[in-house]
Amino acid sequence: MPTNCLKNSDWCKKEFAKTDLGDLRLNRRLASLAQDFNENINKSIYSATKDYNSSKAAYRFFNNPRFNAEDILEPHFERTAERMKEEDAVLAIHDSVVLEFTNHKKMQGLGTIGGHPINKGLLAHNALITSLKGSALGLLSQEVITRKSTGKRAYYRKIPIEEKESIRWLTGLRKVEKRSPKSTTVIHVADREADFYEFINEANELKANYIIRGNWDRKLANCSESVLEVLKKQSIATTINVYLESNGTRKARTAQCEVKFAAILIRPPQYTGSLKNAAVYVVLVKENNPPQGIQGVEWMLLTNLTVDCTEDALKIIDYYKVRWRIEEWHKILKSGCKAEDIQLETKERFDKYFSIVSVISVRLLWITYAAREYPKASCEIFLTKAEWHTLYILTKRSKPPRNMKPFSLKEAAERIAVLGGYRKNNSNSSPGITVIWRGWQTLQNAMNFREAFNDANMLKI
């Protein structure tokens, strides 16, 4: 259990305590803005701030050219690194999320986002640190990018990686390696987008561990076969059940998959020039009998972690499955924080706003999964006494007994989720991220009422 968790209602102050924006007032403004957004995660800047003056101050803060989004995130990166020190090994999950602002006609600094050329937006590339089991410890890198249209593919291949958009994956890798405590092993995890030779090469150069999903079958350096041809000849190591969450296009289901693994040597594509061959382990997860008309699971996982036995292969699969956390975090940013609805006129202003809500939403992700990883821990690691008392009253409709002990983390998360519409249907189920952020918002509203009634001397609880 990380003892240096993001704690109770003071956590905004603590998380941003080491902020140095060059002016004390700015540092304080940041902490109070973070507090406002934390209490109003789905609201506009106007309605999240307390009054006209504070919303004016918020806009002034975002307009201030003397600091940038990375200055805001710096103290959070440091806190994340501190939390990492308590783990022997962690995952650094890298991924990009598209933020669409097509209807924000006045916003400057937008780029293409794919699809129709009329669609405009930004691309946020992040590295989310989690425990090996998937509790979020924080971010260690964030970059918001304006995409340019890339032109012809053949030409694009030839330009050096430093000028390509995919440089963001290397930048993320370098930043995480630089900011990580030396005592903690970091395993970088990414989806198919990171399957390009420069990424694998860079990880090897930095002596960084990676697990990425292969995007295509390739010929090997030391024989005439391809990766999949080599795997075809391998015997099945084991069979596993993979639970697939529902997403926009598929229903949730459990897929029965066979697992194979092999050690291979891959070679750089010609256009990269003089890069060295790379020794890689490949783990294949392939669904046996996918339902009719549905494309079966087929993950070709590439890693530089040693895979000598079935146990090693299963570990790689388990770590890769945690990658899904970053997709859930994207969901909180978009559906929970409604980051795409925010009205700011330039990319620079948006970047600053985005860095703050990113930190807040990572905490909600942490609550969701810490409750599963450490169910018996006290809820006081993320709720104040007033908060869990209020949670008791809201969900029990009665007064908390005297000398009542704080809820366990699991029970508190479940009660928050109930406020967000969660109905437990079997004893093994745990609430997901959507009901948690909705419930969190309800609890924060209740805290506001409670404070107002207390201030008005109309309520003593």
Rounded to a whole number of angstroms, the minimum distance from the CB of residue 226 to Mn ion is 24
In order of 94, 262, 326, the CA distances from 123 in angstroms are: 13, 35, 15
**Smallest gap, in angstroms, from Cβ of residue 153 to Mn ion?**
19
Name the residue with tokens 């000849």: 233
* Residue type, position 370, single letter: A
Residue 376 phi/psi, 5-degree rounding, is: -90, -10
95 vs 177, which CB is nearer to Mn ion?
95
Residues 6 or more apart whose Cβ sits within 8 Å of residue 356: 30, 33, 34, 37, 72
Min dist. Cβ of residue 446 to Mn ion (A)? 37
Binding-site ranges for Mn ion (CB under 5 A): 95, 191, 193
Listed in sequence order, the DSSP H helices in 180-323 are 197-205, 227-233, 310-321
Cα–Cα distance between 110 and 145 in angstroms, integer?
9
Residue 76 CB, nearest approach to Mn ion (Å): 22
- Least Å from the CB of residue 40 to Mn ion: 29
Question: Given the complex with Mn ion, which of 191 and 387 has the nearer CB atom?
Answer: 191
Residue 194 vs 371, nearer CB to Mn ion: 194
Which is closer to Mn ion, CB of 97 or CB of 383? 97
In the complex, minimum distance from the CB of residue 190 to Mn ion, in angstroms, rounded to a whole number: 7
127-160 in b/e burial notation, b at 16+ Cβ within 10 A? bbbbbbebbbbbbbbbbbbebeeeeeeeeeeeee
Distance of alpha carbon 358 from alpha carbon 333, whole angstroms? 7
| Nearest distance from C-beta of residue 68 to Mn ion, angstroms | 25
Which one, 71 or 327, has the nearer CB to Mn ion? 327
Cβ at position 193, least distance to Mn ion in Å: 5
Nearer to Mn ion among residue 50 and residue 192 (C-beta): 192
Whose Cβ is closer to Mn ion: residue 191's or residue 195's?
191
Q: Which residues contact 232 (CB under 8 A, 6 or more apart)?
A: none
Helix pair angle (347-373, 409-419), 10° resolution: 130
Give the closest residue to 128 by CA, choosing from 175, 164, 88: 175
Look at strands 120-131 and 136-145 and give their pairing.
antiparallel
Q: Which is nearer to Mn ion, 191 or 351 (CB)?
A: 191
Complex with Mn ion: residue 36 or 191, whichever CB lies closer:
191
CB of 274 to Mn ion, least distance (A): 29
Is residue 219 classed as helix, strand or coil in its secondary structure? strand
Instruction: Identify any residues that bridge with 111 across adjacent strands, giving them in sequence order.
Output: 121
